[in-house]
Amino acid sequence: MACRLSVQPNPALIDEKLYVQIKDLDPGETVTLRTRMSDAGHRFYGYAYYNANAVGEVNLDMESKGGTYCGKVYVVWENQLFYD
Protein backbone atom coordinates (compact mmCIF):
# COMPACT_ATOMS: atom_id res chain seq x y z
CA MET A 1 0.00 0.00 0.00
CA ALA A 2 1.27 3.49 -0.81
CA CYS A 3 1.51 6.08 1.94
CA ARG A 4 -0.44 9.33 1.84
CA LEU A 5 1.15 12.76 2.39
CA SER A 6 -0.83 15.80 3.51
CA VAL A 7 0.64 19.33 3.75
CA GLN A 8 -1.40 22.30 4.96
CA PRO A 9 -1.45 25.11 4.03
CA ASN A 10 -0.30 24.54 0.49
CA PRO A 11 1.25 26.80 -0.64
CA ALA A 12 2.60 28.29 2.58
CA LEU A 13 4.48 31.47 3.39
CA ILE A 14 7.88 31.20 5.11
CA ASP A 15 6.50 32.28 8.50
CA GLU A 16 3.47 29.97 8.46
CA LYS A 17 3.48 26.73 10.42
CA LEU A 18 3.21 23.68 8.18
CA TYR A 19 1.05 20.77 9.20
CA VAL A 20 2.60 17.72 7.57
CA GLN A 21 1.18 14.25 8.05
CA ILE A 22 2.13 10.93 6.46
CA LYS A 23 -0.40 8.09 6.76
CA ASP A 24 -0.69 4.42 5.80
CA LEU A 25 2.81 3.44 6.92
CA ASP A 26 3.71 0.25 8.74
CA PRO A 27 3.95 0.81 12.52
CA GLY A 28 7.59 1.62 13.37
CA GLU A 29 8.52 2.19 9.72
CA THR A 30 11.29 4.76 9.24
CA VAL A 31 10.66 7.55 6.75
CA THR A 32 12.81 10.47 5.60
CA LEU A 33 11.19 13.87 5.19
CA ARG A 34 13.16 16.23 2.95
CA THR A 35 12.64 19.97 2.59
CA ARG A 36 14.01 22.51 0.14
CA MET A 37 13.55 26.18 -0.53
CA SER A 38 15.29 28.99 -2.34
CA ASP A 39 15.85 32.60 -1.37
CA ALA A 40 17.80 35.29 -3.22
CA GLY A 41 19.26 32.70 -5.58
CA HIS A 42 20.47 30.40 -2.79
CA ARG A 43 19.09 26.89 -2.26
CA PHE A 44 18.46 25.41 1.17
CA TYR A 45 17.88 21.74 2.00
CA GLY A 46 16.99 19.82 5.14
CA TYR A 47 15.91 16.32 6.10
CA ALA A 48 14.85 14.31 9.12
CA TYR A 49 14.13 10.69 9.94
CA TYR A 50 10.91 9.70 11.68
CA ASN A 51 9.49 6.41 12.92
CA ALA A 52 5.79 5.83 12.31
CA ASN A 53 3.64 5.53 15.42
CA ALA A 54 1.51 2.50 16.38
CA VAL A 55 -1.17 3.38 13.80
CA GLY A 56 1.33 3.99 10.97
CA GLU A 57 1.41 7.78 11.00
CA VAL A 58 4.10 10.47 11.14
CA ASN A 59 3.58 14.19 11.74
CA LEU A 60 5.92 17.07 12.48
CA ASP A 61 4.80 17.29 16.10
CA MET A 62 6.65 14.01 16.64
CA GLU A 63 10.32 13.94 17.56
CA SER A 64 12.63 13.19 14.65
CA LYS A 65 15.33 10.55 15.07
CA GLY A 66 18.08 12.46 13.27
CA GLY A 67 18.97 14.38 10.11
CA THR A 68 19.97 18.00 9.59
CA TYR A 69 17.62 18.72 12.48
CA CYS A 70 16.18 16.52 15.17
CA GLY A 71 13.69 16.80 17.96
CA LYS A 72 10.61 18.97 17.56
CA VAL A 73 11.89 21.77 15.34
CA TYR A 74 10.11 23.67 12.60
CA VAL A 75 11.34 22.07 9.36
CA VAL A 76 12.00 25.13 7.20
CA TRP A 77 14.11 26.99 9.77
CA GLU A 78 16.56 24.09 9.94
CA ASN A 79 17.36 23.98 6.23
CA GLN A 80 21.06 24.26 5.43
CA LEU A 81 22.54 26.40 2.68
CA PHE A 82 23.71 24.33 -0.27
CA TYR A 83 26.25 25.91 -2.61
CA ASP A 84 26.48 24.74 -6.20
| pLDDT 10s digits, 52-62 | 999 999 988 88
Give the H/E segment covering residue 39.
Answer: strand 30-39
Domain of residue 76 covers 4-82
The predicted model gives 3-31 an average pLDDT of 88
Domain containing residue 15: CATH number: 2.60.40.2240
Share above pLDDT 90 across residues of the chain, in percent, rounded to a whole number: 27
pTM over 0.75: no
Instruction: Say how many Å lie between the first and final Cα of the chain, rounded.
Output: 37
The predicted model gives 28-36 an average pLDDT of 88
CA dist 50 and 27 (Å) reads 11
Average pLDDT over the chain, rounded to an integer: 80
Is residue 80 very low, low, confident or very high in pLDDT (cuts 50, 70, 90)?
Answer: low
Tell me how many domains the chain contains.
Answer: 1
CA dist 1 and 9 (Å) reads 25
